[in-house]
Structure 1
Amino acid sequence: MTLPVSVVVVSRGRRDSLVLTLVGLSRLFYPNYEIVVVADAEGLEAVKLARMSDEVKTVAFADPNIAEARNRGIAVAAGEVIAFIDDDAIPEPTWLNNLVAPFADPQVSAVGGFVRGRNGISFQWKAHSVDHTGRATPLQIDETRSTVLTPPAGQAIKTEGTNMAFRRDVLAGIGGFDPAYRFYLDETDLNMRLAKARRVTAIAPLAEVHHAFAPSARRLASRAPKDLFEIGASLACYLRRHCPEPERASVVERFCRERNDALIEHMVAGRLEPGDVRRLRQRLRDGIRAGETRSLTPLPALPHSKAPFLPFASRVKDRGTVVAGRVFACKRLRALARRKAKEGHSVSLFLFSPTALFHRVRMTRDGVWEQSGGLWGKSARTEPWFALTGFQRRLKREKTRVAAVRGIPN
């Protein structure tokens, strides 16, 4: 019997991006899940645009506080496991199957997955631990299977906010997320509290999502920041919660130096003006001062959901369908892929051009996974710039690369 899972999505100011996230969530292979959307008016409109109003639990919430929004989602989530994904991320169809599997071990309370970046191929995030300063350190693990990890004393296993899951009773029992963190370090604080309670975390590498870093009130499409106040405030709150007082000043200074270096890089690249850099430096310092006096209160246990579990009927009835061809036939191939997706197939479309262009992967609004690039170009960025090969050999290589997470049969 599969565990019932609640998938919580928080959204604010990203209607179009959320529609794509919902398309991805509507095409999961997992047989027993519900979807909870906590969103502002734009996000609630996205649920209507995705034609999912009667199939999804919604919670109206417009405040710029992702921790509190996640707690609102937990309050109505009725699954035994609660998974989280951001509104600018798309899950692979096997995402929940792989993310939930480690909970078969009764010791496991939390699971994190891997995150691919904007091009749909390179990884943004794999496995990390995190310490009392909030600094994350990469971990070497077997990337073909789930691994239960035990961090050293004073550290935790880091789960990334856009791809993580928790046992509901454990998560609710420790008070969920701390609203003192408006959007930064909220899941890291949770990881540390779980570690202090000696709860066990697993990393599931094959539980993959694609994360686009969509623009928001806090950052531009270029990923340059628009404001650093809440980052500073959250850092100060985190240090007050987890870092010995004698170390805090040095941690803050190191953090400010690193942020300043990043701002200079953005300025050199033309993404920020010198005046922006000065303003953002000051906003960071102002935020740190605000966080040093922000109220930090005990977190009461969250209540059980009064709403019953609302199982979502996945749009996918048949797994692992592949459509492939040359880019000059893209119009016909895309139409074929759309038709198959509408019929309930999980479709991967491969379009190759006679070039060495880099490959990219995206989910379309029709629910098709589309990969495009040169027949001789690289997909993984560690590959050679040019590799002479034939169409069928290249297709086999790309199918093999994604087979485990896409459900494509060998």
Structure 2
Amino acid sequence: MPDVRTGAPEVSVVICVYTEDRWGDILAAVASVRDQSYPALETLLVVDHNPALLRRLAKTYGDDGAGAEEGAQRVRVLANAGPRGLSAGRNTGVAAAAGEVIAFLDDDAVAERDWLLHFAEGYADPRVMAVGGRTQPVWASRRRPAWFPEEFDWVVGCSYRGLPPGRVAVRNVLGGNASFRRSGLEAVGGFASGIGRDGQRLPLGGEETELCIRLTRALPDAVLLIDDRSVIHHRVPPARERFRYFRTRAYAEGLSKALVARSVGTREGLASERRYTTRVLPAGVARGLRDALLGRPGGAGRAGAIVAGVAAAAGGYALGTLRARRGASSFAVAKLEAPTDDEVADGRWAPDGPSGAPGGRRAPDGASACEGAGG
């Protein structure tokens, strides 16, 4: 366990899960956390409104919510205490976590052994409020589709061509491979609900962008970093290697960016995107066309995919902006309220229903959150 007296922060790892279809991935993700060279204080599995998965994970890890095992082996299984979706799940994990730093790992990814070590190193500077890492795709077909441009790897939840190398200050980290100082999250209320994925709708995103901008507004001296030595490997299933998903995800990103821009303003909300669309993407199109002229496979396809992706995102942004102006799209930030140890231990940490506060509601006396989730 890290010795906090030396300045090394204790880190809680939150993995949000929602489907038994990813059972093997979930087990692999947890195993990679347990194998870290810098031990995690705990791993929290937050289950998004799936009672069967909640029970199965609790049985597998022998957990009643308080964590049956100590040290790096400690795994806690919790129900999402807010509305369906990734943002509320993350907030549930933050509220229940004990660490000074909270790291997030996707449920279909595995972390390299020094993942947490390089995160922790970043927090030696007290101004640092977030540290993100590099996410590598693991293609189901064992190789990148020839037409799929590296500039659009964010479509499959991975680091993309155009991100700066090394350990550098950034506007925002990418949520599936990121960590935050607890005090920063508490200062701004956590992730906004109503934006990001919920497992049912379009594959939206943008929640970490909105949070990071809100964080630096509230704490002007805050520093957010990406350290590309903090590496995870993210599985890309066959369906996400197809152009149909590529186009849909780009469109959904446009919708999400419209919400973010509506919340924080277009200057901050789209600052990184302007550089990306005016410098990174034109260079990508040029490379694709050059490769096509040289007879290299996939060049024309990559150039065309970049153009199609931009068009889809622009269409989503236009529609999202119109909806936001009409008040049809909105999201909210609620106070992060941690449960007491007794409430977590005896199962009284229950979903809160329609209000969506990350703190959740307390189950009636004698009731269990897990039992309630089971129907």
TM-score, length-scaled by structure 2: 0.58
Give 1:20's aligned residue: 28
Tell me which residue corresponds to 2:14: 8
Report the residue type matching 1:93 in the other structure: R
Cα distance in structure 1, aligned partners of 2:59 and 2:242: 27
Counterpart for residue 226 of structure 2: 203
Residues 40-96 of structure 1: CA deviation (Å, up to 9, x unaligned): 436436635754533422222396521122111111111110000111110112211
What's the counterpart of residue 306 of structure 1? Answer: 340
Unaligned runs of 5+ in 1: 129-134, 142-146, 150-155, 270-278, 311-410
Say whether the 8 Å CA contact 1:230–1:287 is kept in structure 2: no
Report the equivalent of 2:106.
Answer: 86
1:148 and 1:284 mapped to 2: Cα distance?
28
Q: Are 1:96 and 2:96 counterparts? A: no
Task: Specify the alignment match of 2:361 in structure 1.
Answer: none
Of 174, 180, 183 in structure 2, the residue corresponding to residue 166 of structure 1 is 180
Which of residues 187, 191, 194 is equivalent to 2:208?
187
SS in 1 for 2:185: helix
Q: CA deviation at 1:232?
A: 4.3
- Report what 2:42 is aligned to: 34
Amino acid across the alignment from 2:77: T
1:213 pairs with 2:247: no
Q: Are the counterparts in 2 of residues 67 and 177 from structure 1 also a CA contact under 8 Å?
A: yes
Q: How many residues align structurally?
A: 266
1: CA distance between counterparts of 2:314 and 2:226? 35
Question: 1:83, 1:207 → 2: CA distance?
Answer: 11
1:44 alignment counterpart? 54
Seen in structure 2, the aligned counterparts of structure 1 residues 298 and 97 have a Cα distance that, compared at 3 Å, is: same
**Equivalent residues of 1:172, 1:302 under 8 A apart:** yes
Question: CA separation in 2, counterparts of 1:232 and 1:202?
Answer: 24
Alpha carbons 1:67, 1:186 under 8 Å: kept: yes
Residues 188-221 of structure 1: per-residue CA shift (max 9 Å, x gap) = 1122222333211122222111111347xxx645
**1:4 offset after TM fit, Å?**
1.7
Does the aligned pair in 2 maintain the 1:232–1:288 contact within 8 Å?
A: no
Tell me the amino acid that sits aligned with residue 213 of structure 1.
Answer: V
Structure 1 residue ranges (4+ consecutive) displaced by more than 6 angstroms after TM superposition? 279-285
Counterpart code for 1:233? L
**Cα distance in structure 1, aligned partners of 2:328 and 2:190:** 19
Rounded to whole Å, the distance in 2 between the matches of 1:298 and 1:39 is 21
1:74 counterpart residue number = 94
Give the deviation of 1:283 after TM superposition: 8.0
Structure with the larger helix share: 2
Distance 2:116 2:320 in 1: 36
Residue identity over aligned pairs, in percent, reads 25
Equivalent position amino acid for 1:24 in 2: S
Which is greater in Rg? 1
Q: Measured at CA, do residues 18 and 99 of structure 1 come closer, stay the same or move farther in structure 2, by a change above 3 Å?
A: same
For the aligned residue pairs, the C-alpha RMSD in angstroms reads 4.2
Deviation larger for 64-73 or 43-52: 43-52
> Alpha-carbon deviation of 1:109?
1.0
Q: Which stretch of the first structure deviates more once superposed, 58-67 or 107-116?
A: 58-67
Distance in 2 (CA, whole Å) between partners of 1:22 and 1:242 is: 35
CA drift of 1:284 comes to 7.9
Aligned residues of 1:23 and 1:50 also touching (Cα < 8 A): no
Match of 2:245 in 1: 225
**Residues 244 and 118 of structure 1: CA distance in aligned 2, closer, same or farther (over 3 Å):** closer
1:239 is matched with which residue: 261, 264, 267? 261
Which amino acid is 2:189 matched to? G
Cα 1:22/1:221, change in 2 over 3 Å: farther
